[in-house]
Amino acid sequence: MKKIITITALLFSIGISQAQIHDTIVKWTFPTGNATDTIANGGIPANLSKVIKTVGGTSVLLFPAGATTKSASATKWDNGSGTKYWQVSFTTKGYDSLFFTSKQRSSSTGPRDFKVQYRLGSTGTWSDVQNAAVIDTADNFVKGFLTDSLPVVCNNNDSVYLRWIMTSNISAKGGTVGSTGTSSIDDIIICGHNISGIEPPVVNNVYVNTLSEVKVVFSKAVNAATGEDVTNYTGLGTISSAVRSVSLDTVTLNLASPLINGNAYTLTVSNVQDTTSNNTPMPTAQSFNFLFNNSKAPIVITEIMYNPPESGTDSLEFVELYNNSSITVLVGGYFFKVGTTSQNTYYAFPAGMSMAPNAYIVLARNPITVDTFYHISGTIAWASGQALNNTNTKLQIVNSIGEYIDSLTYKTTAPWPTSSNGNGPSLTLCDPNSDNSNGLNWQASAEFIDSLNGKAVMANPGTGCITTNVIELPEINDIVNCFPNPVKEILTLTFEKQADKIEIFDMFGNIAYTITEPSLVMKINTENLKKGIYCIKVFFKDHSIDIKKISVI
């Protein structure tokens, strides 16, 4: 490491008081390990939408353990000298006397050498921050620690960019940077002196660290008398202590009684003051609604209809979830996510929601259409207007702290069933105990629903699937009875009311038999039918419809 300067030494060297630079303009400390951590988790309101990213071909961000909580990490830094870097942007409008801190660490084959540069605006020229060079080692985050003042030209500016750019292709262990080598960065904090007038503190974010620990992130440093006064925080029961962070802008609330997984809470923060000589208070109380669930219930994704044979509407898409256990599980606070971007939540499970033993939940873009077409009920709508991709796509169920409950990437190529890509069948996982990330464990559904655009729609949302090795298919509806089932020669149908027409479809939606004006008892010779699953669709004179499935052996 080429330079370590403490904050105290920096303040002395540039001749300003500590009170001048207490305001946090923006920071990334990656508190939760979720993809949303790419967005700034503290600072002035104008910077709360700012993101950190990598440039130059590096991979998507991961969030392993950091210097304190989590960190941002990426691979593919190979051959990156002078071209690959970490980057953030922010506004410093109304602030001068700027300085920043950051911490870095690399794996043994990750990049060793970085320097920090700045530019003004998105098209400005990159310039070095004086003496801000870093030598990372495969050790800990302190090895890559920086505390540096920013040039005066960055003061009071609408748009400032910082980047940590590679300066060599030497790895942390002295070899060559490899494609799988990682660089991690943490605790990026930019501070400055407010020159536009005194702004009161406001709460930027509230998040649950554990069931007994809630963190409150303010827009600026707050004083001990009010920031650590537990009476200024209500709605979470008894709070045993409130402790400020080293930067004085985050307060950790330690709860006397832990939160209950999946329950909704409202935290109200009031009367907190900043650290200026005026002790400027919050302008008004702020309330935050949240729920937390760090459990890991055995929820399994068991069926996916990602490309139904429609004409561009995607109204029949759905994803089926299954409680693969014999107990009721709490799912409030879980999230159903699609894809790999940070803004990919399709459904947030509400407070108190649970799943009974061996129960199913069906999520869909258009639940009314799904319920009507598939003859089910209770389908839940996911994010309005969102559709599943018809290409390789990741599906996730995660809890409140970002841990996977279930995760898979369905694909349109073998060994995933290719007929599920627009040809009618859904993807179905008949054995919920199997690895659902392996396409070999999925099959194209074989349960006929109806024909659409000349193709048979095959699916079984909300129930277990039927395979071709069926021994016995029970009949539970006494309006239409089919026996024997499976059938080898003669199938007998009986009806409790007068039918108008009978259609028998094979698993591809082709009509094998059509019978008009059937009697209340019908015998059908199946010897000429190929072995497999068939659907019997009965149209009654009262305009009702019933569907039965049979297996011909």
Question: pLDDT tens, 390-444?
Answer: 989 999 999 888 889 999 999 999 999 999 999 999 999 989 999 999 999 999 9
Residue 330 one-letter amino acid: L
Measure the CA dihedral 43/46/49/53, to 10°.
Answer: -70
**Backbone φ and ψ of 479, nearest 5°:** -75, -45
Give the mean pLDDT of 320-344. Answer: 87
315 and 441 fall within a common domain: yes
For tokens 């060559």, name the residue. 176
Question: What's the pLDDT at 305?
Answer: 96
49 and 137 fall within a common domain: yes
Residues sharing a CB contact under 8 Å with residue 72, sequence separation 6 or more, in sequence order:
28, 30, 37, 38, 52, 61, 62, 63, 86, 184, 185, 186
Using one digit for the tens of pLDDT, what is the confidence trace for 209-248? 888 999 999 999 999 999 999 999 999 999 999 999 999 9
pLDDT at 30 over 90: yes
343 and 240 fall within a common domain: no
Residues sharing a CB contact under 8 Å with residue 161, sequence separation 6 or more, in sequence order:
87, 88, 89, 118, 119, 120, 121, 122, 124
Q: Are strands 360-364 and 380-381 parallel, antiparallel or unpaired?
A: parallel
Measure the CA dihedral 480/483/487/488, to 10°.
Answer: -130
Question: What's the pLDDT at 21?
Answer: 44
Question: 298, 52, 246, 248: which is closest to 164 by C-alpha?
Answer: 52
End-to-end CA distance of the chain: 74
Range of the domain at 215: 203-291
Residue 473 lies inside a defined structural domain of this protein = no
Count of domains in the chain? 4
How far is the C-alpha of 206 from the C-alpha of 216, rounded, in Å?
5
345 and 230 fall within a common domain: no
312 and 453 fall within a common domain: yes
pLDDT at 336 over 90: yes
Element (H, E) at 23: strand 23-28
Distances (CA, A) of 74 to 61, 137, 252: 5, 16, 29
178 and 251 fall within a common domain: no
Confidence label for 35 from pLDDT (cuts 50, 70 and 90):
confident
102 and 34 fall within a common domain: yes
Average pLDDT, the chain: 86
Q: Which residues of 466-504 are buried (b: 16+ CB within 10 A; e: fewer)?
A: beeeeeeeeeeeeebbbeebbbeeebebebeeebeebbb
Give the mean pLDDT of 154-168. Answer: 95
Query: What number of other Cβ atoms are within 10 A of residue 312's Cβ?
Result: 6
- The domain spanning residue 224 has which CATH number? 2.60.40.1220
Distances (CA, A) of 59 to 71, 76, 84, 160, 550: 15, 6, 11, 24, 50
Confidence label for 449 from pLDDT (cuts 50, 70 and 90):
confident
Q: Given 423, 458, 493, which residue is the final one in a domain? A: 458
User: Which residues in 196-317 belong to E strands, given as ranges?
Assistant: 203-210, 213-218, 233-234, 239-244, 250-255, 264-269, 286-291, 299-305
How far is the C-alpha of 195 from the C-alpha of 206, rounded, in Å?
28
How far is the C-alpha of 363 from the C-alpha of 310, rounded, in Å?
18
